[in-house]
Every structure is written in C-alpha cells, then in structure tokens.
C-alpha cells in the first residue's frame, strides 16, 4: 500500500500520511463492568442503574451498543463478571468445536483465555488436557480438573495427547496460545483422532503439512472473537439482532451464557486474578501485562466517583493570548483528515487556535496539544458561546455538518466546513435560512466549504489559461476513488450521504470553477445492479451542463487499479487541451507558450484554501468561494445522488 501510494501521490505525501496514521491514538481494552448511567433512544432490556458487563474500552465512561452489553446476575460479583467478555472468546471456539459429553479435548496454551476454555470444556462434560510451559498456569489448570503437559520439562505434547485419549487420538484441540511457531497446529493434527476438530482461538504460525490433515480428514477452523455478530456493523452498531431461532448464540448471548455459568458456580474467576491496580495506575498495569510472564487477570479498579473525575474541558495553554481582530478558531473534530491536513493548514496560515472539540476528548487533547490549541473540550457549546472565538471549523461525520453549520451561523460565527455542506435538500434549506438570518442581523459571517482543489496551483494555472478562451469548454474528470466496504460509514446514506455527495462533490465544484458559469443541468448514470457487487453508486458518471454552453462528465469510479492516477482533469477548448494528473503533472497541448507544470509534491490546494478564507475574515474581503456557488454545488451534488438512487429503485 505504501509503495502504491508513493507511485501515485509522491514520496513526501506518503511519508506524511504514514506518520499521521502511526500517531493516531487507539482506545485500549475491551472488558469492563459498570452501572448504566443513561440509555439511548430505542434501547430495550436495559435501564439506568443496571449492573452490566460490556466490551467497551478502559475508561470512566463508555458508550456501548445494545448487543455488546449483558446484565450481571445478582449472585455474580463485579470482579468475576468482568471476565465474561474474555471467556466468550473461548466459548465461541468451543461452539465451533461442538464437543459432546465425555469427549477428550486438548487446550494448547494455558493463559487467561486457555484457563477459561479449560473450565468451559469441563462444564460441557469433557475431559481436558492442558499444554503449557508455565508451572503456575498448569497448576491452575489441574485445579480446574484438567490433566497437564509441560513441554518445557521434556514432555511430548503429541505423546501426552495420545496417552490422554487412551491411544485413540483426542476428539479435538483448541489452540489458545500466541506464538509465531506452527508447532501447536502440527502437534494438534498429530494427536487428533480421525475426523478430529482443531480450532484456532489464539495466534500461531500456519505452515501446515497437508498429509497431517489429509490422512485423517481433520477439520481446521479459525474462531472469530466472541461469536456471531462480531465485526458486523448492522449488529454491533445499528442494533439489528439475529433471529433467535436461527442464530442461537451471538456475541451478547455468549456473554449471557458465561454469566449464567458463573452464577451456577461452574466457572471460578477469582483464582485467575493476579493483580489489581487503581485506574490512575493504568500505565503500571499495562507494564505488568507486557513484562510479567506470570500475569493472568489484571484488574483496573475505579475507586473514585466518576462525577468527580468527569471533565469536559482541558486547558492546554494556560497563558494563551488572542488578538480579537484576527481569526480565532474553534475546531470541531480531530479525525485523520483534520489532524493530518486541516489543522496544520490553519496553523501555517496564521490562525489563532483556541478550542478543539471531540466526542471522546482523547483525540482533542492529543492533537490539540501537538498543534498548539489553548483548550480541548467535549462540548461544542464551549465554542459557540465563547465570545473570543469568531470562526468555527467543522470536520466531523457528514450527517452532523448541517446541524453544526446552522448552529454556528446562528451564533454569529464564520464557518469552514469540510465537504459536504449538507446531505439533503432539507438540511441545505436550513443552512440557507440560517445564513440569511445571520446576515439580516448584521453578523455577515463567511461560509466556506473545503473545496480545496480549485485553489491548487495547477488548477489556478488552468483557470488563468482558460480566461483567454471565449467559447464553451468540454471537461472530462476522473476520480479513481478506490474501493471501500459497502458497510463503511461513508456509504451509509444517513451517516455519510454516500460517496457522490461526500466526495464527488469536489469535482462538481471544480468543474463549476473552471467553467466559470452556472450549472443548468445534471444527468447521472450508475453501474447496473449486479450480483457480487454490494455497492454500485460509487461507480457512476455525472454530466453537468452550464449556462454558457460548456459541459463535462465526472467519472467517479471505485473499481479501478490503485496504481492508476487517483485524479485526472482534462479540458478541451478552442483546439487546445489541458491534462492534469494527480495534482502533480500538468500538460498543455496546443497552448502558445505553455507545455508543462510539474511538481515534486502533490498540492491539492488545502493550504491556499484555508489561507484565503482566513484572509477574507481578517481583511473583511469577499468569501473565496461565492456563497451562491457553495449552495449551487451542494444542491447539484444532492440531485446527482438522488438521480443515481432512483435508478436503483
């Protein structure tokens, strides 16, 4: 991926992207116990005050979807219940193995998941042999009713397995070890009976010998985390459950099953707890996890009142001073594009960075501190109500843009919003109304959408060359967008608006800019519905007609090769042609005095886009993109997407 990006975008752009990606903070942990503070709309089966286990991260307050929570029985204490999510990993492996009463199973790797798996197999009525190199862990396995094998003391796991199965071969092996070696899989195959089952729950090398599996017709399967529903956005994020009669065991139902076993006394968690840390000592806990080989269950305890620890504002620069006559900026959002591109662009353009707002706070503190913001917050009201902040930058998920823009305008703030401006005509009408009301009140705020491509040096050169052409122009613009999953949030019409509204709008604006004439018609055609291709809206052509007789077609294609230029712009006019490839190489054909304009580094105009916006605020000039064009492009983007969706319907 890195090499492909170097070929298309250039070395420097690739280095910046990789560094940014590596610097992104990730939430840690996925097992916790707490009390429900609030429930969202439509949530059933839970109410405030319920004691629950969830797979949310390690934090004072977590937001978790309905199916990733389970109520804790009264007879199960918190310290035991917190292992329910971890135990469900082993339980899913067992469900795939389908053990029956009296079968002989081997568990390779007696770590935390392995010891939970031993107990679960025993609860199924199976005989169990545990294999590990740690005496203490094997002692626990023995206490849970398993026989043990210690390869570090010269014991042969295959021989032990054969002896354990009375010479017939074990019925199945669950591998819960973490190693680069392929030995656990090879040993499992050799100790299994004919048609035995091998389930990989952990991580191992997978250099397999065909003969080991072929001669016995062994089954080998990799287990996926907690069970059905894992990594399914419809289940985990949208709350769409699987029918109980057809999918008996899901993630949530596995959580509940483990908790029921705890309540019945069939699972012992307390022997697995090796250390306890106050949450304030989390760094020491993670240090123990990575350096103490004897560690098993490490608990983080939240001993203080969460209301005392809850904060919505962090001061990053206590001595910050702001000049009132210059843009004082509040950012809403600190995702990849904001942190890697927009925040640096605003900083380099001289913006005074006041407050950065994010939903969880972590990204805001990290990126805000690096960039030099004065404060980080989780409350957008902190920006809208602050008198010192006169400019709001919105870089959030697309379905929040219109609401935030409207709020900012009504608060009298200048607005820079990353595309798109709105997802539908109703949202656009709300923004237009708020803009009109703000201007009637005398506030006269600027509204700018991040259509940066028109500010690219090479696009500016094309515009300058085209000024000498006094006849209609023809455009061919190609976006080799690349495939993203159909369940990605940008593909969701209600959240991302789809890729036409969310990304192809860039080229609708770019064509509007180069044509220099109002859009009077829009036509669109998408790839036809076909089996095997989940999303066809992102493989489409959009044709625009302009008042001066110009026309052009945007080819937005997600089915191309990554090695092909991602963006290409071609203009045909007056017997001449301009061709721009990936905002790096511009060629002129038939242009007197112009042939090429090449750059070592890709420049899509982000910095100049921001600089001109801030200059308009500071100097009282016109908004760099006229407001009628902003609304026109938003409207045409929505209409193009609607045309494509009607073809599907």
Dist CA 130 CA 151 (whole Å)? 11
Question: Among 100-109, 527-536, 551-560, whose mean pLDDT is lowest?
Answer: 527-536
Q: What is the pLDDT of residue 8?
A: 67
Boundary residue ending a domain (391, 422, 449): 449
Q: What is the pLDDT of residue 599?
A: 87
For residue 225, what are the β-bridge partners? none
Q: What is the pLDDT of residue 289?
A: 87
Please tell me whether residues 581 and 480 are part of one structural domain.
Answer: yes
Contact partners, residue 389, CB within 8 Å, separation at least 6:
328, 329, 330, 354, 355, 383, 413
Q: What is the pLDDT of residue 486?
A: 85
Boundary residue ending a domain (421, 449, 477): 449
Q: What is the pLDDT of residue 107?
A: 98
Please tell me whether residues 128 and 195 are part of one structural domain.
Answer: yes
Please tell me whether residues 597 and 468 are part of one structural domain.
Answer: yes
Structural domain of 210: 98-223
At residue 377, φ and ψ (nearest 5 deg) are -150, 165
Contact partners, residue 628, CB within 8 Å, separation at least 6:
none
Lookup result for tokens 């999303």? 535
User: Is residue 649's pLDDT more than 70?
Assistant: no
Dist CA 184 CA 202 (whole Å)? 10
Per-residue buried b or exposed e for 570-603, using 16+ beta carbons within 10 Å of the residue's own CB: bbebeebbbbbbbbbebbbeeeeebeebeeeebb
Q: What is the pLDDT of residue 184?
A: 95
CATH assignment of the domain containing 103: 3.40.50.720
Please tell me whether residues 321 and 219 are part of one structural domain.
Answer: no
Please tell me whether residues 502 and 590 are part of one structural domain.
Answer: yes
Would you place residue 271 in the very low, low, confident or very high pLDDT band (cuts 50, 70, 90)? very high
Lookup result for tokens 């752009």? 13
Dist CA 427 CA 421 (whole Å)? 9
Contact partners, residue 36, CB within 8 Å, separation at least 6:
46, 47, 48, 49, 50, 52
Please tell me whether residues 524 and 578 are part of one structural domain.
Answer: yes
Please tell me whether residues 495 and 618 are part of one structural domain.
Answer: yes
**Length, in residues, of the chain:** 649
Cis-peptide into 411, omega within 30 deg: no
Of 11, 612, 78, 42, residue with least CA distance to 349? 612
Question: Does any domain span residue 253?
Answer: no
Per-residue pLDDT tens digits for 118-131: 999 999 999 999 99
Per-residue pLDDT tens digits for 417-435: 999 999 999 999 999 999 9
User: Is residue 305's pLDDT more than 80?
Assistant: no
> CA 387, 390, 394: angle at the middle one, nearest 5?
120
Q: What is the pLDDT of residue 572?
A: 98
Boundary residue ending a domain (397, 430, 449): 449
Per-residue pLDDT tens digits for 437-473: 999 988 899 999 999 999 999 999 999 999 999 999 9
Per-residue pLDDT tens digits for 240-251: 999 999 999 999
Would you place residue 601 in the very low, low, confident or very high pLDDT band (cuts 50, 70, 90)? confident
Please tell me whether residues 210 and 103 are part of one structural domain.
Answer: yes
Tokens of 620: 């009282």
Question: Does any domain span residue 622?
Answer: yes
Please tell me whether residues 322 and 360 are part of one structural domain.
Answer: yes
Please tell me whether residues 589 and 644 are part of one structural domain.
Answer: yes
User: Is residue 16's pLDDT more than 80?
Assistant: no
In total, how many domains does the chain have?
4
At residue 362, φ and ψ (nearest 5 deg) are -60, -50
CATH assignment of the domain containing 464: 3.30.360.10
Q: What is the pLDDT of residue 18?
A: 76
Tell which wins on pLDDT, 212 or 389.
389
Of 367, 259, 229, 320, residue with least CA distance to 31? 259
Would you place residue 12 in the very low, low, confident or very high pLDDT band (cuts 50, 70, 90)? confident
Per-residue pLDDT tens digits for 194-240: 999 999 999 999 988 898 899 999 999 999 999 999 988 889 988 89
Please tell me whether residues 190 and 142 are part of one structural domain.
Answer: yes
Please tell me whether residues 322 and 199 are part of one structural domain.
Answer: no
The sign of the torsion formed by the CA atoms of 614, 615, 621, 625 equals negative
- DSSP string for 192-242: EEEEEEEEE-SB------HHHHHTTT-EEEE--TTSTTTT-HHHHTT--PP
Of 228, 214, 220, 187, residue with least CA distance to 201? 220
Per-residue pLDDT tens digits for 47-65: 999 999 999 999 888 889 9
Q: Are 48 and 34 in contact (CB under 8 A)?
A: no
Dist CA 203 CA 603 (whole Å)? 42
**Global pTM?**
0.80
Dist CA 357 CA 490 (whole Å)? 21
**Mean predicted confidence (pLDDT) in 177-204:** 95
Q: What is the pLDDT of residue 228?
A: 94
Per-residue buried b or exposed e for 56-79, using 16+ beta carbons within 10 Å of the residue's own CB: bbbbeebebbbbbbbbbeeebeeb
Question: Does any domain span residue 276?
Answer: no
For residue 526, what are the β-bridge partners? 540
Of 454, 436, 376, residue with least CA distance to 628? 436
Which helix (H) or strand (E) segment is 437 a member of? helix 425-440
């Amino acid at each position: 991926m890195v090499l492909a990006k170097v070929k298309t975008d250039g070395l420097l752009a690739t280095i910046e992207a990789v560094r940014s990606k590596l610097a992104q903070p990730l939430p840690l942990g996925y097992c916790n116990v707490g009390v429900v503070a609030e429930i969202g709309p439509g949530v059933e089966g839970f109410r405030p005050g319920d004691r629950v286990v969830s797979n949310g991260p390690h934090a004072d307050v977590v937001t978790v979807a309905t199916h990733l929570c389970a109520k804790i029985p009264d007879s199960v204490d918190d310290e035991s219940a917190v292992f329910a999510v971890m135990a469900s990993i082993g339980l899913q492996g067992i469900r795939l193995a389908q053990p029956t009463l009296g079968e002989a199973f081997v568990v390779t790797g007696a770590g935390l998941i392995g010891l939970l798996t031993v107990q679960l197999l025993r609860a199924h009525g199976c005989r169990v042999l545990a294999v590990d190199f740690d005496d203490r862990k094997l002692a626990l396995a023995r206490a849970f009713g398993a026989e043990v094998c210690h390869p570090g003391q010269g014991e042969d796991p295959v021989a032990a397995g054969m002896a354990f199965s009375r010479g017939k071969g074990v019925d199945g092996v669950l591998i819960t070890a973490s190693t680069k070696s392929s030995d656990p899989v090879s040993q499992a195959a050799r100790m299994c009976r004919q048609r035995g089952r091998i389930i990989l729950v952990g991580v191992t090398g997978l250099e397999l010998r065909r003969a080991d599996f072929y001669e016995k017709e062994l089954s080998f399967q990799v287990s996926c985390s907690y069970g059905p529903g894992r990594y399914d956005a419809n289940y985990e994020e949208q709350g769409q459950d699987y029918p109980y009669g057809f999918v008996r065991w899901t993630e949530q139902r596995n959580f509940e099953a483990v908790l029921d076993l705890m309540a019945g006394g069939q699972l012992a968690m307390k022997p697995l707890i090796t250390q306890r840390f106050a949450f304030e000592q989390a760094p020491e806990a993670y240090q123990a996890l990575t350096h103490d080989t004897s560690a098993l269950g490490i608990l983080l305890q939240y001993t203080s009142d969460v209301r005392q620890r809850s904060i919505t504002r962090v001061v990053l620069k206590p001595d910050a001073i702001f000049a009132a006559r210059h843009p004082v900026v509040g950012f809403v959002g600190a995702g990849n594009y904001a942190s890697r591109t927009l925040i640096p662009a605003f900083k380099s353009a001289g913006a005074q960075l006041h407050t950065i707002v994010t939903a969880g706070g972590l990204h805001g503190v990290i990126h805000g501190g690096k960039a030099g913001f004065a404060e980080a917050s989780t409350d957008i009201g902190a920006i809208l109500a602050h008198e010192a902040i006169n400019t709001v930058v919105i870089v959030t998920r697309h379905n929040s843009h219109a609401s935030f823009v409207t709020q900012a305008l009504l608060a009298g703030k200048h607005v820079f919003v990353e595309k798109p401006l709105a997802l539908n005509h109703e949202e656009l009408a709300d923004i237009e109304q708020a803009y009109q009301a703000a201007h009637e009140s005398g506030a006269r705020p600027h509204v700018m959408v991040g259509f940066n491509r028109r500010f690219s040096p090479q696009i500016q050169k094309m515009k300058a060359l085209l000024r000498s052409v006094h006849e209609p122009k023809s455009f061919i613009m190609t976006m080799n967008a690349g495939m993203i999953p159909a369940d990605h949030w940008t593909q969701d019409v209600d959240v991302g608006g789809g890729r036409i509204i969310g990304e192809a709008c860039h080229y609708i604006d770019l064509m509007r800019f180069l044509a220099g004439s109002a859009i009077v018609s829009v036509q669109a055609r998408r790839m036809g519905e076909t089996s095997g291709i989940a999303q066809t809206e992102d493989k489409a052509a959009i044709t625009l007609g302009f008042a001066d007789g110009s026309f052009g077609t945007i080819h937005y294609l997600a089915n191309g090769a990554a090695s092909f230029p991602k963006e290409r712009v071609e203009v045909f006019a007056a017997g001449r042609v301009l061709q721009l490839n990936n905002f790096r190489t511009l060629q002129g054909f038939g242009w007197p005095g112009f042939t090429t304009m090449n750059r070592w580094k890709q420049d899509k105009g982000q910095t100049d886009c921001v600089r001109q916006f801030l200059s308009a605020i500071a100097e009282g000039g016109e908004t760099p993109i006229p407001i009628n064009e902003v609304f026109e492009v938003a409207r045409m983007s929505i209409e193009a997407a609607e045309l494509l969706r009607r073809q599907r319907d």
